[in-house]
């Protein structure tokens, strides 16, 4: 268990300090809250790691990589170009803090997190839903649309 904690710390530090200048004008980082430093099991740890990676990519506007974290059926409905266009206006300078993970069952989890803007003037708590599919966690996009029937083959 102790090695797992060091593994998580190592991953977080590696991401934080790799290319420090890269983060200067962007987010501070997606991180765990002080009360969420330990995990009750491997599934929770895997989800937390994937969640932090997703928000780090998303907030650095690496949409081509963040897109792969979205549910497969939502990727089918929303192509990558739509995803980029939809998310491009989002802020860059913010921090996401994972506060709590609630498992609704073996394959659905709700993560409670806090958004804090870089100027600390905007702060709110939000929830993200994640699904476990074939051993990988996928994010549920909050906005979804049906495909344009006219464009279907």
Residue with token string 């998303």: 58
Ramachandran angles phi, psi of 146, nearest 5°:
-80, 150
pLDDT of residue 79: 86
Provide CB contacts within 8 A for 92, sequence distance 6+: 25, 26, 27, 59, 60, 61
pLDDT of residue 55: 86
Cβ–Cβ under 8 Å, residues 133 and 146:
no
pLDDT of residue 75: 85
- Name the superfamily (CATH) of residues 2-142: NTF2-like; domain 1 (3.10.450.100)
pLDDT of residue 131: 95
pLDDT of residue 95: 80
State the 10-residue block means of pLDDT for the chain, 153 residues long.
52 42 39 65 89 86 90 85 79 78 94 83 88 94 64 56
Element housing 50 (H / E):
helix 42-59
In the chain, where the domains are located: 2-142
Residue with token string 């740890």: 45
pLDDT of residue 1: 55
pLDDT of residue 90: 67
Cβ–Cβ under 8 Å, residues 63 and 86:
no
């Amino acid at each position: 268990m102790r090695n797992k904690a060091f593994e998580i710390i190592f991953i977080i530090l590696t991401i934080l300090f790799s290319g420090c200048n890269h983060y200067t004008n962007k987010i501070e980082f997606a991180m765990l809250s002080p009360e969420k430093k330990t995990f009750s099991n491997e599934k929770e740890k895997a989800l937390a790691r994937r969640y932090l990676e997703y928000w780090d990519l998303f907030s650095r506007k690496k949409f081509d990589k963040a897109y792969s974290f979205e549910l497969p059926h939502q990727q089918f409905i929303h192509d990558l170009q739509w995803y980029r266009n939809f998310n491009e206006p989002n802020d860059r300078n913010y921090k996401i803090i994972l506060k709590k993970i609630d498992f609704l069952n073996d394959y659905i989890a709700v993560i409670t997190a806090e958004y804090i803007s870089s100027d600390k003037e905007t702060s709110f708590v939000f929830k993200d839903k994640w699904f476990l599919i074939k051993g990988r966690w996928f994010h549920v996009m909050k906005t979804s649309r049906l495909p344009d029937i006219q464009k279907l083959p």
